[in-house]
Amino acid sequence: MKTRTLFIIFFLFLLVFAASRFFSGHRESSFDPVISAVDTNKVDRIQFISGGPAPEEFELKKSDGTWEAIQNSKKVSAPLTHINAILNTLSNLKAKRVLTKDVAKYPEYEITEEQAARVIAWEGKKQVADLWIGGFKFDQAARSASSFIRINKKPEVFLVDGFLSMSLKQRFDQYRDKKLFKSDVNDLTSLEWMDASGKKQVVQKEDGLWYYAGMEAVDTNAISQYLNGLSNTQGSEFSNLTSTQGLNLIEKLTLYGNNMVEPTTISTFINQDTTKPFLIHSSVNPDALFLSDTVGIYKRIFGDLRQFWPNGQ
């Protein structure tokens, strides 16, 4: 009797163990790690909807083999390197595991509609991806990052390798021209600075050296450093303004040179925001106005220029 009882207990134990392995295996096999697998050659439109405190929306659109970034009436060319990075991510996006299906835990992963960014891809009229990109975590010891992502209309929050915010959390300003000067500084022959009153100061280059009016020499190393810095200076934060009409001019720098169709003019205007009191505009990038504080691009263009004027004006 005891033997039979032990046998029955052992048999039931095996049955429970087998059932648990079966259902566990079934659950594991039902997990599909593929989140997105678009055909990079067929995708022709990608829409980005950002979350956070300053939400915005724009799209990348392919036409006749080239891509444009479009936001309302604004259109700019989109570099193919940017496009390829996005498409490569969307073509092979796989999850490591499911983190949660509980909507109440979404804020923990920054995957709510208010927090997350959304990326939607099309092949013509066919939607082939619709993803919510949440926050990320960084493993300091392993020096690796993981991101949180959800497929639209599905509850699962997935853990994915990498900084998806670098490639899939996009903003329109990333595609806009940020340059203020586009010529070769070696071609420059004259710099003319003018203040709000119309007073001017000029330095000119002759035989490879720079001089003030009256042929007083300008420090060669100092002006070389300034011009090299000028050639690399770019705006970083765009103003919502698209025109300088009605703005109060503070200073203007005009750069003349060889191989220039026309001089480049960089102007500074008063901005009502006292934390970023300057608006910077360049004639080579007429549709852009950049915000600047006292140590930003304003200093690199106008502040650092004062060292070349007599008495440091």
Q: Are residues 284 and 199 in the same domain?
A: yes
Q: Are residues 204 and 160 in the same domain?
A: no
In a domain, 46, yes or no: yes
**Distance, CA of 208 to CA of 63 (rounded, Å):** 47
Q: Are residues 229 and 280 in the same domain?
A: yes
- 100 or 11, which is more confident? 100
In a domain, 30, yes or no: no
Q: Are residues 157 and 197 in the same domain?
A: no
- 240 or 291, which is more confident? 291
Phi, psi (deg, nearest 5) at residue 71:
-140, 110
pLDDT at residue 27 above 70? no
Picking from 208, 277, 188, the residue whose alpha carbon sits closest to that of residue 239 is: 277
Round the average pLDDT of the chain to a whole number and report it.
Answer: 87
pLDDT at residue 28 above 50? no
Domain count along the chain: 2
Tokens standing for 199? 């007073």
pLDDT score recorded for residue 85: 92
Q: Are residues 42 and 170 in the same domain?
A: yes
Question: Dihedral through CA 276, CA 234, CA 163, CA 63, nearest 10?
Answer: 120
pLDDT at residue 244 above 60? yes
pLDDT tier, 306 (very low <50, low <70, confident <90, very high otherwise): confident
Enumerate residues 6+ apart whose C-beta is below 8 A from 64: none
In a domain, 245, yes or no: yes
In a domain, 19, yes or no: no
pLDDT at residue 66 above 70? yes
pLDDT score recorded for residue 262: 95
Q: Are residues 165 and 223 in the same domain?
A: no
In a domain, 4, yes or no: no
- 23 or 3, which is more confident? 3
Picking from 166, 162, 154, the residue whose alpha carbon sits closest to that of residue 32 is: 154
8-state DSSP, 231:
H
User: 266: domain CATH number?
Assistant: 3.30.1490
Q: Are residues 141 and 41 in the same domain?
A: yes
Q: Are residues 169 and 43 in the same domain?
A: yes
The overall longest dimension of the chain from CA atoms, in Å, is: 120
Q: Are residues 163 and 211 in the same domain?
A: no
Residue where a domain terminates, one of 142, 175, 208 = 175
pLDDT at residue 139 above 70? yes
DSSP string, 39-99: -TTT--EEEEE--SSS--EEEEEEETTEEEEEETTEEEE--HHHHHHHHHHHHSEE-SEEE
pLDDT digits (tens, 9 = 90+) for 191-217: 999 988 888 889 999 988 999 877 788
75 is in which domain, residue-wise?
A: 37-175
Task: Give me the mean pLDDT over the 16-36 stretch.
Answer: 61
Picking from 178, 214, 137, 195, the residue whose alpha carbon sits closest to that of residue 287 is: 178
pLDDT score recorded for residue 145: 87
Q: Are residues 41 and 127 in the same domain?
A: yes
Residue where a domain terminates, one of 134, 149, 175 = 175
Stated as kind and residue range, the H or E segment containing 16 is helix 2-30
What is the distance in angstroms between the CA of the first residue and the CA of the last residue of the chain?
109
R_g of the chain, CA atoms, integer Å: 29
Q: Are residues 158 and 287 in the same domain?
A: no
Q: Are residues 137 and 163 in the same domain?
A: yes
Q: How many CA atoms lie within 13 A of 157 on its CB side?
A: 22
In a domain, 235, yes or no: yes
pLDDT score recorded for residue 18: 55
In a domain, 255, yes or no: yes
**Distance, CA of 251 to CA of 268 (rounded, Å):** 5
pLDDT digits (tens, 9 = 90+) for 73-83: 889 999 999 99
pLDDT score recorded for residue 213: 76
Contact assessment for residue 177 and residue 76, using Cβ atoms and an 8 Å cutoff: yes
Residue where a domain terminates, one of 150, 175, 200 = 175
Task: Give me the mean pLDDT over the 112-122 stretch.
Answer: 95
8-state DSSP, 11:
H
pLDDT at residue 236 above 70? yes
Tokens standing for 241? 């303004």
8-state DSSP, 248:
P
pLDDT digits (tens, 9 = 90+) for 148-176: 999 999 999 999 998 887 789 999 999 99
In a domain, 24, yes or no: no
